[in-house]
Chain A
Amino acid sequence: MMLLPQLLLSLATGAETPAVDFQKEVLPILKGRCIECHQDPATNSGKRPKGGLRLDGKHWIMEGTRSGPVIVPGDPNLSTLYELISLDKDDPDLMPPNSDGLTKSEVETIRTWIAEGADFGGWVGAPAPGETSPDTPKLTPKPSGKLPRIVQLYMELGEGLSPHSAEQLKLAAGERGKLQPVFPGSPLLSVSFPSNQGRTGTADVQKLLGCAENVASLNLGRTRITDEALAVITNMPRLVKLDLRQTNITDAGLAHLASLEHLRSLNLFSTKITDASALKIAGLKKLETVYLWQTQLTTAGVERLRGLRPDLRVVHQPDLPAPERGGPDEEGAGRRRR
Chain B
Amino acid sequence: MTIREHLRRADEPSRRTFVSGLAAGLFGVGTSPLASPLSGALTQDGAVPLRHATAKRVIYLYMSGGMSQLDTFSPKPGAATQGPTEAIQSNADDVRVSEHFPLMARHMDKVCVVESMNSNQGAHAQGQYYMHTSYELRGTIRHPSLGAWLNYMAGPVNETLPGHVAINGGLYNASGGFLESKYMPLPIGSAEDGLQNSARADGVSEGIFDRRMRRLREMNDAFRDRYNTKEVRAYGDMYEQALSLMDSQDLDAFDISKEPESIQEAYGTDPFGKGCLLARRLIEHDVRFVEVVKSGWDTHAENFDQMGELCPPVDRALSALLADLDARGLLEDTMVVLATEFGRTPRINTQRDGRDHYPKAFSCLLAGGGIQGGVKYGKTDAEGHEVTEDIVTVEDFNATIAYGLGLPTEYEMYSPSGRPFRVAHKGIPVKAMFA
Tell me the chain B residues, 401-435 only, with Cβ under 8 Å from chain A.
406, 410, 417-419, 428-435
The contact string, 1 if C-beta is below 8 Å from chain A, for chain B 148-164, is: 00000000011110000
Provide the residues of chain B in CB contact with A267, threshold 8 Å: 328-329
- Whether A334 contacts B159 by the Cβ 8 Å rule is no
- Whether A170 contacts B320 by the Cβ 8 Å rule is no
The contact string, 1 if C-beta is below 8 Å from chain B, for chain A 190-222, is: 001011101100000000000000000000001
Partner of B328, one of A144, A199, A245, A336: A245
The contact string, 1 if C-beta is below 8 Å from chain B, for chain A 63-93, is: 0001111001111001000000000000000
Provide the residues of chain A in CB contact with B136, threshold 8 Å: 66-68
The contact string, 1 if C-beta is below 8 Å from chain B, for chain A 304-318, is: 000000000001111
The contact string, 1 if C-beta is below 8 Å from chain A, for chain B 105-116, is: 111010000000
- Whether A145 contacts B88 by the Cβ 8 Å rule is no
User: Is the C-beta of B52 less than 8 angstroms from some C-beta in chain A?
Assistant: yes
User: Is the C-beta of B37 less than 8 angstroms from some C-beta in chain A?
Assistant: yes
- Whether A320 contacts B323 by the Cβ 8 Å rule is yes
Stretch of B19-27, B263-271, B348-356, B379-387 with 4 or more beta carbons under 8 angstroms from chain A: B263-271
- Whether B432 contacts A144 by the Cβ 8 Å rule is yes
Closest to B410 in A: A139
Provide the residues of chain B in CB contact with A336, threshold 8 Å: 91, 109
- Whether B419 contacts A72 by the Cβ 8 Å rule is yes
User: Is the C-beta of A104 less than 8 angstroms from some C-beta in chain B?
Assistant: no
Closest to B426 in A: A63
- Whether A328 contacts B102 by the Cβ 8 Å rule is yes
Q: Size class of A's contact patch? A: 35 or more
Q: Known contacts A73-B418, A319-B323; decide if A148 and B434 are in contact (CB<8 Å).
A: yes
- Whether A291 contacts B329 by the Cβ 8 Å rule is yes
Query: Would you give the shortest CB distance from B302 to chain A, in whole angstroms?
Result: 23
A180-B160 Cα distance, complex, nearest whole Å: 19
- Whether A333 contacts B88 by the Cβ 8 Å rule is yes
Question: For chain B, what secondary structure do more than half of its interface residues adopt (helix, strand, loop), or is it mixed?
Answer: loop
A179-B36 Cα distance, complex, nearest whole Å: 9
Query: Would you give the shortest CB distance from B376 to chain A, in whole angstroms?
Result: 15
A147-B435 Cα distance, complex, nearest whole Å: 9
- Whether A321 contacts B329 by the Cβ 8 Å rule is no
User: Is the C-beta of A332 less than 8 angstroms from some C-beta in chain B?
Assistant: yes
Partner of A318, one of B326, B410, B431: B326
- Whether B268 contacts A173 by the Cβ 8 Å rule is no
- Whether B41 contacts A181 by the Cβ 8 Å rule is yes
- Whether B265 contacts A148 by the Cβ 8 Å rule is no
- Whether A321 contacts B266 by the Cβ 8 Å rule is yes
Partner of A72, one of B263, B323, B418, B428: B418
A166-B38 Cα distance, complex, nearest whole Å: 8
Partner of B417, one of A75, A166, A178, A334: A75
Tell me the chain A residues, 117-151 only, with Cβ under 8 Å from chain B.
139, 141-142, 144-151
Partner of B41, one of A150, A184, A328, A332: A184
A265-B138 Cα distance, complex, nearest whole Å: 46
- Whether B431 contacts A265 by the Cβ 8 Å rule is no
User: Is the C-beta of B83 less than 8 angstroms from some C-beta in chain A?
Assistant: no
Closest to B431 in A: A145
Tell me the chain B residues, 102-152 only, with Cβ under 8 Å from chain A.
102-103, 105-107, 109, 120, 135-136, 138, 140
User: Is the C-beta of B176 less than 8 angstroms from some C-beta in chain A?
Assistant: no
- Whether A318 contacts B323 by the Cβ 8 Å rule is yes
User: Is the C-beta of A55 less than 8 angstroms from some C-beta in chain B?
Assistant: no
Provide the residues of chain B in CB contact with A194, threshold 8 Å: 157-159, 286
Tell me the chain A residues, 290-338 only, with Cβ under 8 Å from chain B.
291, 293, 315-324, 328, 330, 332-337
Closest to A293 in B: B327
Q: Known contacts A194-B286, A265-B329, A334-B91; decide if A323 and B265 are in contact (CB<8 Å).
A: yes
Query: Would you give the shortest CB distance from B325 to chain A, in whole angstroms?
Result: 9
Query: Would you give the shortest CB distance from A241 to chain B, in whole angstroms?
Result: 8
Query: Would you give the shortest CB distance from A257 to chain B, in whole angstroms?
Result: 16
User: Is the C-beta of B31 less than 8 angstroms from some C-beta in chain A?
Assistant: no
User: Is the C-beta of B54 less than 8 angstroms from some C-beta in chain A?
Assistant: yes
Q: Known contacts A195-B160, A333-B88; decide if A315 and B435 are in contact (CB<8 Å).
A: no
- Whether A67 contacts B138 by the Cβ 8 Å rule is yes
Provide the residues of chain A in CB contact with B419, threshold 8 Å: 69, 72, 78
Partner of B37, one of A150, A172, A243, A337: A172
User: Is the C-beta of A269 less than 8 angstroms from some C-beta in chain B?
Assistant: yes
- Whether A145 contacts B158 by the Cβ 8 Å rule is no
The contact string, 1 if C-beta is below 8 Å from chain A, for chain B 305-328, is: 000000000001001100110111
Query: Would you give the shortest CB distance from A201 to chain B, in whole angstroms?
Result: 14
- Whether A321 contacts B319 by the Cβ 8 Å rule is yes
Partner of B106, one of A151, A222, A334: A334
Partner of B157, one of A178, A196, A222: A178
A-B residue pairs, 7 tightest by C-beta: A145-B431, A183-B52, A173-B37, A318-B327, A267-B329, A318-B323, A320-B266
Report which A residues bind B (CB closer than 8 A): 66-69, 72-75, 78, 139, 141-142, 144-151, 154, 166, 169-170, 172-173, 177-184, 186, 192, 194-196, 198-199, 222, 241, 243, 245, 265, 267, 269, 289, 291, 293, 315-324, 328, 330, 332-337
9 A-B contact pairs sorted by A residue (CB < 8 Å): A74-B418, A145-B434, A177-B37, A179-B37, A195-B160, A291-B327, A318-B323, A324-B265, A328-B102
